[in-house]
Chains A and B, each alone.
Chain A
Amino acid sequence: MNLFNNYYELAAVILFAIGLLLLLLQRNLIKKIIGLNIMDTSVFLFLAAKGYIAGAMSPIIRDGQTDASLYINPLPSGLVLTGIVVAVSTTAFALALALRWYQQYHTLDIDGVVLKNVLKGEK
C-alpha cells in the first residue's frame, strides 16, 4: 500500500500532530517548548526524506564524478540546516521567556489557576 511505502512522510505527519497537540494542550511551558521542537523536527524529517535518493551519495564530488544523478539532492539538506538554526534560536528565545516567567511566579503553568490568582492579586 502507498501509505506504508511512504513511511517517512507518515512518521513526519504523526510527529507533527504530536508536536501540535503538545503545543496547544499542555499547560507546562517546558512541555509546550518540547512540542514546538518535535513539530520543527517533523518538518526537517519530511524535508530530508524528500531530498534523499535511494543509493545515491552525499553531495560532495568524489573521484571527479560530476554526474548529478549519482548524488542526493543537496537543496533540501541545506534547507534543513537553515531550519535547524532558526529552530535553535526559537527554542532559546522561548526558554528565556519561560525562565523569566518562572523567576517571577515560581510556576511553569501558563493558563492555570495559579496564574489567574496571581494576575487577580496584581490588579
Chain B
Amino acid sequence: MGIAIIVLLLVGAVAAWVCKNDKTARMIALVVTAIDAVIAVVMTMNVSSGGEQVIRFGSGFIAQSIRIGKIECFMACIFGIIGFLIVWASMSMISHDVEKDLIPFYYFLVLALLGTLNAVVFFESLIGVFVSIELSSFAAAGIVIVKNQTENVHAGLKYLSLSILGSSLVLMGVVILYVATKGLDITTIGTAIKAAGFMGEKSAYVIWAFALITSGVAFKAALFPCHIWLPDAHGTAPSPSSAILSSLVLKAYIVFYMKMVFGAVGFDIIAGSGMRILLNVVMVVGVVAMICGSVLAIMQTDIKRMIAYSSVAQMGYIFMGIGLGTEFGLFAALFHILAHAVTKSGLFLVAGSIIEQTHNRDLNKMGGLGKLMPITMALFTIGGLSMIGIPLFVGFNSKWNFATGIVGSSNYWLLIPLSISALLNALYYLPVVIRAFFGKEAQEITEPFASKERPVKDLLPLILLAVGVVIFGVAAGPVSDFLHSGIEVLSNIGL
C-alpha cells in the first residue's frame, strides 16, 4: 500500500497538470490528498495489528525495496492528513498568491512533492531514496518560485543550490557506506554493521560516511548553521507552500536520517563507538540552533520570517533529541515532528490569512488585529502557546518528552538550554498576541465594526489543525505507544 500512495499522488499530480483548468486542478488535488490520507490511516491500522513488512520489486540494478513499518506509517499519516488540510486551506488562499494560469502547475508540484516525500520515507534501497530526495528538492523549490516575484526566484535559487549540495553530500556518504558494507539498502547495511559489532577496522569508513550524511541532512533539514536558505524560502513562498515546506518537507529528510542512524547502526552500537562522538556534535549543534533560531526570530519584523526562524529553532529540538542517542530521545524527536507539523502548518496558514486580509506583513502594525479577526488571532494564540509549551497543547507534551529523555540519558545540563529556549519562544509569540488583543490601536477601532474575518468555511481546515493541537496535547497516549513500539522495530532492522 505504500507503493499505492506514491503512485496515486504522482498520477494525481500529472492529472492536475494535464487538465489545464484551475477549478478542476483544485478538485483533483483535494480528492487525491483525501484518498491519500484515508489509505495512510488504513495502512497504519494494518501495521499496528500486523507488524512491518518489506516489499521488494524489480531485479538486478533496479531492484528496490519498500519498508512499511510503524515509523513510516506514522509519517505517511502526517503527510496524508496534514497535507490534505493544507491543500484544503489552499483552495481559498492560493489565488491570492499564484496567477490563475499557474494553478494547475502549482497543484502538480504540490502533489508531486507529497508523493516524493512519501517515497523518501518508504524506500529502503538508498538509490530510490536518493532519487526521491532530488525530485522532492525540485518540487520544493518549484512551489517557492511559482509565485513569480523577484524575491521568490532569489530564494528559490538559494534553496535549490543548497539542497543539491545537501543531496550530493548524502550521496557521497551512501557511496562510502556501500564501499564499507557492500550493501545499498538499510537492511543489508544494518546486517553488515551489526553482525561485525561495528565493522571492526572498517568502522572509520562508517563514521565518515555518517558524518557526510549528517552534514547533507543538516543542509536539507535546515540545522542551524546551514539554515540560511530557510527564512528566504519559507518567508517568501505562498502561504500554503510555506506550511507544506516547513511542516512536511523538512521532516522527511530527518526521518530518513533517523532510519539510517538508529535502524542501520542501532542503539547498542551507538553507545559504545565513534558514532557517539558524531551524535554529541549533532546534539550540541541542535542546542545552538534552539537558542540562535529563537534569538533570530525575536529580531524579525515580518510575520512569516519570524515563523520561519521559529522553524529553525524547532529543528534544533529534533536534532537534539536525535543526538541524545537513546530510545527516549528518538521518541521525543519523533513526537516533536508531529507536534511541529500540526502547529507550524496552522501558524503559517494563519499568517497567510492575515496577510491576505490586511495586506500587511509587519508585526509592529498588527495592533488591534484581534478585534478585526478574532477567530484567526485565536488560532494564532493556540499555535503560539503550543510552540511555547503551555500544558493542554501538544508543544507541552513534546517539551516534557525532551526533558524526560534528557534526564534519562543523564545529560542534565541540557535542561538549561531547553528552558531558556521555551522562554525565548514566549518572547516572540506572546507580544504578537498581546498587541493584537490589547494593543493601543484596539481602542481606536470603533463602530461600524469592519470585520476582516475570512468566512468560517474557509477557516475550517485551520480550526481542525488547532483542534489537532489540543487533542494531541490532551490525549497523546495512543500515539506515544505506537511510536515506542515503532522504535523497537526500527532498532531491530537487520538483526
Contacts and interface: CB of A to CB of B under 8 A. Distances in A.
Interface secondary structure of B, over-half rule: helix
Given A46-B172, A82-B131, A23 B157 contact: no
A93 B150 CA distance: 17
B168 A122 contact: no
Chain A CB count within 10 A is highest, among B154, B160, B161, for B161
A90 B136 CA distance: 12
A95 to B, nearest CB: 11
B127 A93 contact: no
Contact of B161 (A16, A94, A100): A94
Contacts of A32: 161
A122 B149 CA distance: 11
A79 interface: yes
Interface residues of B, number: 25
A93 B138 contact: yes
Interface string A93-123: 1100110110011000010000100110010
Interface string B400-436: 0000000000000000000000000000000000000
Contacts of B131: 82, 86
A82 B175 contact: no
B160 A94 contact: yes
A50 interface: yes
Given A101-B153, A104-B150, A122-B150, A43 B168 contact: yes
Contact of A79 (B127, B145, B168): B127
Interface residues of A, number: 35
Given A43-B171, A46-B172, A94-B160, A119 B150 contact: yes
Nearest to A101: B153
A36 B137 CA distance: 15
Interface string A61-97: 0000000000000111011001100100110011001
B61 A40 contact: no
A97 B165 contact: no
A115 B127 CA distance: 39
Chain A CB count within 10 A is highest, among B150, B151, B168, for B168
Contacts of A23: 161, 165
Contacts, number: 73
B156 A97 contact: yes
A97 B153 contact: yes
A101 B127 CA distance: 33
Interface in B161-183: 161, 164-165, 168, 171-172, 175, 178-179
Interface secondary structure of A, over-half rule: helix
B141 interface: yes
A68 B19 CA distance: 50
Nearest to B128: A82
A78 B61 contact: yes
A90 to B, nearest CB: 6
Given A74-B61, A97-B156, A118 B141 contact: no
B134 interface: yes
Interface in A9-23: 16, 20, 23
B363 interface: no
Contacts of B172: 16, 43, 46
B165 A110 contact: no
A75 B59 CA distance: 12
A6 B59 CA distance: 32
Contacts of A98: 157
Contacts of B161: 23, 32, 36, 94
6 nearest A-B residue pairs (beta carbon):
A78-B61, A86-B134, A50-B179, A47-B175, A39-B168, A97-B157
24 contacts: A16-B172, A20-B165, A23-B165, A36-B165, A39-B165, A47-B175, A50-B175, A74-B61, A76-B175, A76-B178, A79-B175, A82-B130, A86-B130, A86-B131, A89-B134, A90-B138, A93-B138, A93-B141, A94-B160, A94-B161, A97-B145, A98-B157, A101-B153, A104-B150
Interface of B: 61, 127, 130-131, 134, 138, 141, 145, 150-151, 153-154, 156-157, 160-161, 164-165, 168, 171-172, 175, 178-179, 184
Given A43-B172, A98-B157, 9 more contacts: A16-B172, A29-B157, A43-B168, A50-B179, A83-B130, A86-B130, A97-B157, A119-B151, A122-B150
